[in-house]
Structure 1
Amino acid sequence: MSEHNPQGGEAFMQPLLRVRDLKVAFKVDRAMNEVLHGIDLDVYPGETVAIVGESGSGKSTTMHAVMNLLPGTGRITEGSVLWNGRELVGIHRRDMESIRGREIGLVPQDPMSNLNPVWSVGFQVEEAIRANGVAKGRKAVRERAVEVLQQAGLQDAEKRMKQFPHQFSGGMKQRALIGIGLSADPQLLIADEPTSALDVTVQRVVLDHLAKMTSELGTAVVFITHDLGLAAERAEKLIVMYKGNIVESGPSREILERPQHPYTKRLVSAAPSLASRRIGSDAELPAAPTESFDVAALTASARETVAHGQPMIEVADLGKVYKIRKGNFSSEDFHAVSDATFTVNKGETLALVGESGSGKSTIAKMVLQLEKPTSGSIRIAGKETAGLSGKGLFDLRRTLQPVFQDPYGSLDPLTNIGNTIMEPLKIHGVGDAASRKARVLELLDQVALPRELASRYPNELSGGQRQRVAVARGLALKPDILILDEAVSALDVLVQAQILDLLAELQRELGLTYLFITHDLAVVRLIADRVCVMQKGRIVEQATTEEVFERPQQEYTKNLLAAIPGAHIELGV
């Protein structure tokens, strides 16, 4: 990986970042547990590198070690990190702070917990610009803040600056963080799952901007991602990590079209973002089934019962209006959802898709009775939910369970994983202590988590592991209806395939009903029976999955489908 032949016949180019034999360990019960076992990698000016691998493989740990941002007891035990020829291992904290932000930018993985809830989004972007010395003077700082938010794909950036993080959707928060990361025009941008919370159209805007930066300014980008479509389409070089080691590296297309290592082959075969285009057409199906096609088969068998199922969720003329504060103590109406109407039958999966901020999660919150509708009605299993309270609402919760978008904010940091999963069982008085514990272990097995994690706390788990815990908690009561809000967006492709497989199998066996909110259209192709496409709070298209993918009616839907990263790249297995 140390060789690099620049285009245009230039002289040998020195890498911006040169990592050699990097080893990282975390202290666990007075012993050092090594999690990186000798990482070697180079990043050159203007180069785009993607690091892929399953959750917990060491992707984020590698780049956090480079920036000296290892959490808790994490330490670099061996190795060298050269930045522009300067050794960063053992560097003084103040010297490292002068490099962070200005020379090496970071877009962190979690958009929910990386913005301060008591400060407006605009204030936080401006603070980063001041700290990095990008602009001076109040007016110049503000103009730069609006500019970077627009570059990151945030519409109405000037108006949105006054809002607080809780008034932003997950994708909008992610765009704000991308704006902060780009604010100083760094030489290297480390983007940790930068587009996991973004819909495909905004993804394309942001990635196009990053590509423009790399070509114009010579900015290098390191993507830490589980989206192989993004890696195939956007990165020149691919690094595949597994259990703290690099198992394969080289040109992206070459590796994804002809993977050599067994682990890389597993990743590629399980990737719905790339395989989904082949699932819809029998002519293109490969002879050997993969994990992704198992999901399609299970979902297809679940569909056979859909026609006979009674309506479980009936939404009619649903509307939600929020008040947005303006200056002078006044406010204006913001229509988050307008005139939404759809029905989900027993045993069926309906997917709500659309751009970030289109109203998908708002509908989910209203169905869950976490938000009160401004207008319209919601019926669950034939019962009107308006005015429900006390025991009626408690009984509804038994049949209707959520899996939230944010695996960081939806888990109590002071409660261990076992008790987190067990909590719904306790609240609803299901079983005794022994049977609850057995159910927790069963659920951990179902979502592919080691049983020993039951005694761990959320801060000891990766983002993907936390999301699996959230899915396990949602399944604990064996509900009739599951509302899945971006439930697999934080998961690597292998675990994503396992979770989708699990959801399809449970649906087939138990006749579960799913309302699936996502911006990942490839996942929709695998799991959904019908699709509602949302734009600016309205449902603009509603049809079966096949009709939406093969014969989209609206230009907006066509743009969403055209923006799927890597959709037309043929992969080897």
Structure 2
Amino acid sequence: MSDQRQMNHGGAERAGDPTRPILSVRDLKVEFGVKQERREVLHGVGFDVYPGETVAIVGESGSGKSTTMHAVMNLLPGTGKVSGGSILWQGRELVGIGRRDMEHIRGREIGLVPQDPMSNLNPVWSVGFQVEEAIRSNGLASGKKAVRARAIEVLEQAGLQNAEQRMKQFPHQFSGGMKQRALIGIGLAANPQLLIADEPTSALDVTVQRVVLDHLQGLTQQLGTAVVFITHDLGLAAERAEKLIVMYQGNIVESGPSREILERPQHPYTKRLVSAAPSLASRRIGSDATVPTAPTRTFDLAALSDEPKPVVQHGEPMIEVSDLGKVYKIRKGSFGSEDFHAVAGASFTVNRGETMALVGESGSGKSTIAKMVLQLEPPTSGSVRVGGKETRNMSGRELFDLRRTLQPVFQDPYGSLDPLHNIGNTIMEPLKIHRVGDAASRKARVYELLDQVALPRELATRYPNELSGGQRQRVAVARGLALKPDILVLDEAVSALDVLVQAQILDLLAELQRELGLTYLFITHDLAVVRLIADRVCVMQQGRIVEQATTDEVFENPREEYTKNLLAAIPGAHIELGQAG
């Protein structure tokens, strides 16, 4: 506690004394709930962050990573409160601080890049307006021209190309990665002394991730800005952070120099985390892989359905994309518009029982192809055939039947779950829509699916806002599997998951594929995951497929310079993880 007494005298010395922590957390306890039903989720957490230091907090979903830093910023959700301990910011106690005082610190002195790029941008305002609003409210510029110039500057610093043009667009016109870059720009706008980055690059492709992380690193060096990463990417933690904090069930179980911990983990939990992390040295999860035994399946869709599924021969083409194109109209001044070619001339085939991965930078057209395959967007040109049937001019009934065999798992675990439906009803919804089974058998199927995606059954009565990001994504996967479809289109389906759950889901997907002959179209920017799950890879750049080959060929002998750059940008690719001591 002597550290804390010294800190009380050192608030003015922030920039000058690198030996004094700017943030000092001691014995921090946080509770959630009301009255007698309060539950402690942080059990006495303590750590220091020094000027210019980069710290990474890692741990599985629900371990308390985000809760710890939200407590620092006084941003705990409604029923959460700090029940004990101390948070000193430059010698000033933040526990119990007034709302107005905290608002002055938040943004100007402590910046935040929130985890979810989808729900943290207002859909009715242009992206540029929202960045400008943050700049005005933090007093960073005055006058319309100065504010606009600063907004363009922060978006460019965050790695957003054509920032001036993109500012006029609305969030729904941005890819997930582009929204994340806009939030990073807002978080960095005030050049804060501490930046809390909650999964700041989980929605970013590896090349943009490198641009953003290089920029953050430049900030720490030039301005003495400290950065706290909350991340599940151990490669990022190893490459970018000097200090690593490992959390498990609301406790810090190991902390110290990041490379030392990741190369020689001591705690059993850290060893599990490290061994589960995918890397470029990983191999495809195949029939010889060790996969956890799945729960016994008691729910037979075929027996409950009026129309049994047709038997498709293994290896038969399930998705055939031919010369596919998509053109969007982008508004310009004076009521004009210009064509934007999101996808141009894309062709590939995915066979029964196979996984095809679409990879590329954010905005390269991956998700647009997924939407056209799912018939959520009509193609401008070309064709999509699913199970041998052309989908372009399908009737409403034909599309409804197609949904039975073709199911999506979307990128955004926040926006794709209805906040008014509990988890059980969310997973059950496809069964109700397609009139599969009765109430009792549907409930049994929900429990079976929760088991499959490693979620406790009691979550069936909980709501999405009570779940972590990783838990929500597992619910989305469970809903996608509810009808036992032939084809799953997975759009960044594991990007929000910590490495342990990611490994479980990838093993589950591989096991279901072997057992049921499932076909996967897997959209991702995580190339290490591609190595684990995919048979073949299509590399996309600016709407075009520039390279298409088997996974081994792409990783071991990439032809295109663009593909080589993608592989070279993977964080921590050349760091040896997991030589447990």
Structure-1-length-normalised TM-score = 0.94
Matched ranges for 1:87-106 at <5 A: 87-106=93-112
Q: Give me the whole-angstrom Cα distance separating, in 2, the residues matched to 1:17 and 1:443.
A: 43
1:448 lines up with 2:426 in the alignment: no
Matched ranges for 1:320-359 at <5 A: 320-359=326-365
The number of aligned residues is 549
Matched ranges for 1:46-445 at <5 A: 46-272=52-278, 274=279, 276-279=280-283, 294=290, 309-445=315-451
Find the residue that maps to 2:132 and give its secondary structure: helix
Q: Is the 8 A contact 2:325 2:343 kept in 1?
A: yes
**Paired residue type of 1:267:** L
Q: Give me the whole-angstrom Cα distance separating, in 1, the residues matched to 2:533 and 2:291.
A: 7
Q: Give me the whole-angstrom Cα distance separating, in 2, the residues matched to 1:477 and 1:227.
A: 32
Q: Is the 8 A contact 1:53 1:226 kept in 2?
A: yes
Q: Is the 8 A contact 2:356 2:538 kept in 1?
A: yes
Find the residue that maps to 2:325 and give its secondary structure: strand
Deviation of the 1:32 alpha carbon:
1.0
Q: Which is worse superposed, 398-407 or 22-31?
A: 22-31
Find the residue that maps to 1:57 and give its secondary structure: coil
Deviation of the 1:277 alpha carbon:
1.8
What's the counterpart of residue 7 of structure 1? none
Of 482, 499, 518, the match for 1:476: 482
Deviation of the 1:278 alpha carbon:
4.7
Of 542, 550, 561, the match for 2:548: 542
Find the residue that maps to 2:135 and give its secondary structure: helix
Deviation of the 1:389 alpha carbon:
2.4
What's the counterpart of residue 300 of structure 2? none
Q: Is the 8 A contact 2:287 2:514 kept in 1?
A: no
Q: Is the 8 A contact 1:295 1:497 kept in 2?
A: no
Q: Is the 8 A contact 1:352 1:532 kept in 2?
A: yes
Q: Is the 8 A contact 1:271 1:292 kept in 2?
A: no
Q: Give me the whole-angstrom Cα distance separating, in 2, the residues matched to 1:178 and 1:14.
A: 27
Matched ranges for 1:505-516 at <5 A: 505-516=511-522
**Paired residue type of 2:569:** A
| Identical columns (%) | 84
Q: Give me the whole-angstrom Cα distance separating, in 1, the residues matched to 2:566 and 2:288.
A: 22
**Paired residue type of 2:554:** V
Deviation of the 1:124 alpha carbon:
0.2
Find the residue that maps to 2:215 and give its secondary structure: helix
Change (3 A) 1:532 1:237: same
Change (3 A) 1:512 1:563: same
Find the residue that maps to 1:277 and give its secondary structure: coil
Q: Give me the whole-angstrom Cα distance separating, in 2, the residues matched to 1:374 and 1:234.
A: 42
Find the residue that maps to 2:52 and give its secondary structure: coil
Deviation of the 1:290 alpha carbon:
13
**Paired residue type of 2:507:** D
Q: Is the 8 A contact 1:408 1:466 kept in 2?
A: yes
Structure-2-length-normalised TM-score = 0.92
Q: Is the 8 A contact 2:111 2:192 kept in 1?
A: yes
1:153-207 CA distance string (max 9 Å, x none): 0000000000000000000000000000000000000000000000000000000
Q: Is the 8 A contact 1:105 1:186 kept in 2?
A: yes
Gaps of 5+ in 1: 4-9, 281-288, 299-305
What's the counterpart of residue 41 of structure 1? 47
Q: Is the 8 A contact 2:357 2:521 kept in 1?
A: yes
1:560 lines up with 2:556 in the alignment: no
Find the residue that maps to 1:247 and give its secondary structure: strand
Gaps of 5+ in 2: 5-15, 295-311
